[in-house]
Structure 1
């Protein structure tokens, strides 16, 4: 009996160790992660991208948003989240990395890249993700996809992970895109009971942050966002989208969801389909 229990305990422990991390094969595996998608609908967009990783972004032992991450280009395909009004604070000086993109057996909690390096000296963290030093003196901002201003603490802190940022033109990031994010926040607070967001980037054909003659981080050609607003009964009451060329043109163009699908389809070899369940109708 004791031997059988011991074997069972080992099996259970292995299963728990395998499933507790935040790099998952399917967002639907984790109920606290799939909730960031309207009616649990995960878009097909980006799912066929080679080398993608599905991240349930965990901070302080809680999931705060989900990210489809492109480990080849070392930028996010998109981040999915639910808007939460900011209460200030939570502007991090740290930049987090995803330990399980270094070693799948490491813990699932996002970690400060510096302290992760202290715990595992000599282990290179940047094979499958961008590092803070990639952005240093690059001329590009660490552009949040899921913006810190769309959350209260501690979700606000959790947005400061390098798996949630892309190289963004500083003029765009600090002006038109920031204004776009603020405009959405005002809209959501006044007209939505709950707002589901997808924010992503379109990789460029061959434009990279290069360090030591190595292509490190792809510089996106476009930034894009899409939202679905619901009322207190969970019924859709509004939707929209936007696109911005990632240059100092500093212009954000508003789209409908259907126009956004058409736009994304130009960059996909497979059908994009719906971004939200029933296209938020």
Structure 2
């Protein structure tokens, strides 16, 4: 089942092989039944990215080139052992559609390919933005712990998958949700689709370059042995407190509708909205 899903993902992402920034995900198999979130989550200056690294596609991201943060990242949950990347990357295809086909380190772009830092900064956040932040971490939307290989884990270390996240939350209750709660909630799932996002906030950091989200949220749709949805849930946290609320998918969508001011739908209707759920 998972192998077939990954083959579908590969087919869905071929448009990025030509570095095209288009008006939607071409064939979004990172999303259950091809259903992407509603337009309430649309970016101001959007880039639809199917993350390509080491000849494979790993997750999908809707990135806002004006706020210099992602709106959400989506993946098929497949945790596995492995270490975190020691390097951080940026996306050359956001600089120039004819540029390199996969993410690269800033130093390689400036030293080997002669891009200037200003060229990179026009379309995305850079390492210097996060080095000047206080009390905030480089918070993954699609975390490395949800990937199963060294290459796919490394792929999550692109700054287009990162938001300024409260340090205590990132290392505390949000990490607990990513690494413990998700493991327990998915133990009876054949496969699980995950979308994790950030609600744009009213403040910017790093010289007003990078938006600081007001909330971090995540949603999951769990498929059973018959490949049909059997469970769904969500999590949401204010981005200045070390506290995560575990909720049903329906409650999460309602909360996000209130925060965005527009109706938010995250998954295909087959994913249960108000099914009773449990933590363990």
One fold, TM greater than 0.5? yes
What secondary structure is seen at the aligned counterpart in 2 of 1:23? coil
5 Å-filtered alignment, 1:92-241, equals 92-118=85-111, 119-122=113-116, 124-139=119-134, 140-153=136-149, 154-205=151-202, 207-210=203-206, 214-241=207-234
2:264 aligned with 1:267: no
Label 1:240 to 1:22 Cα distance change in 2 as closer, same or farther (>3 A). farther
Distance 2:233 2:226 in 1: 20
Unaligned runs of 5+ in 2: 1-13, 273-280
- Which of 63, 79, 82 matches 2:73? 79
1:12 corresponding residue in structure 2? none
What are structure 1's unaligned runs of at least 5 residues? 1-15
Identify the residue that residue 11 of structure 1 maps to in structure 2.
none
Give the secondary-structure state (helix, strand or coil) at the position aligned to 2:213: coil
Question: Is the Cα–Cα contact under 8 Å of residues 243 and 252 in structure 1 kept in the other structure?
Answer: yes
Please say if 1:257 is aligned against 2:249. Answer: yes
Task: Provide the TM-score with structure 1 as the length reference.
Answer: 0.85
**Contact 1:144 1:166 (C-alpha < 8 Å) held by counterparts:** yes
Change (3 A) 1:279 1:166: farther
Aligned-pair distance for 1:128?
Answer: 1.5
CA gap of 1:267–1:112, structure 2 versus 1, over 3 A, is: same
Shift of 1:237: 1.3
Q: Per-residue deviation at 1:71?
A: 1.2
Q: CA deviation at 1:117?
A: 1.6
Instruction: Give a deviation string over 1:204-239, Cα, whole Å, max 9, x none.
Output: 11x2212xxx31111111000000000132111111
5 Å matches for 1:40-79? 40-79=34-73
CA spacing shift, 1:224–1:38, aligned 2, 3 Å: same
| Number of aligned residues | 255
Structure 2 Cα separation of the partners of residues 21 and 255 of structure 1: 37
Cα separation, partners in 2 of 1:261 and 1:17, compared to 1, 3 Å? closer
Cα root mean square deviation, aligned: 1.9
Distance 1:41 1:268 in 2: 19
Are the counterparts in 1 of residues 88 and 159 from structure 2 also a CA contact under 8 Å? yes
Q: 1:78 to 1:17 in 2, by over 3 A?
A: closer
Q: Pick closer, same or farther for the CA change 1:17–1:82 going to 2, 3 Å.
A: closer
TM-score normalized by the length of structure 2: 0.85
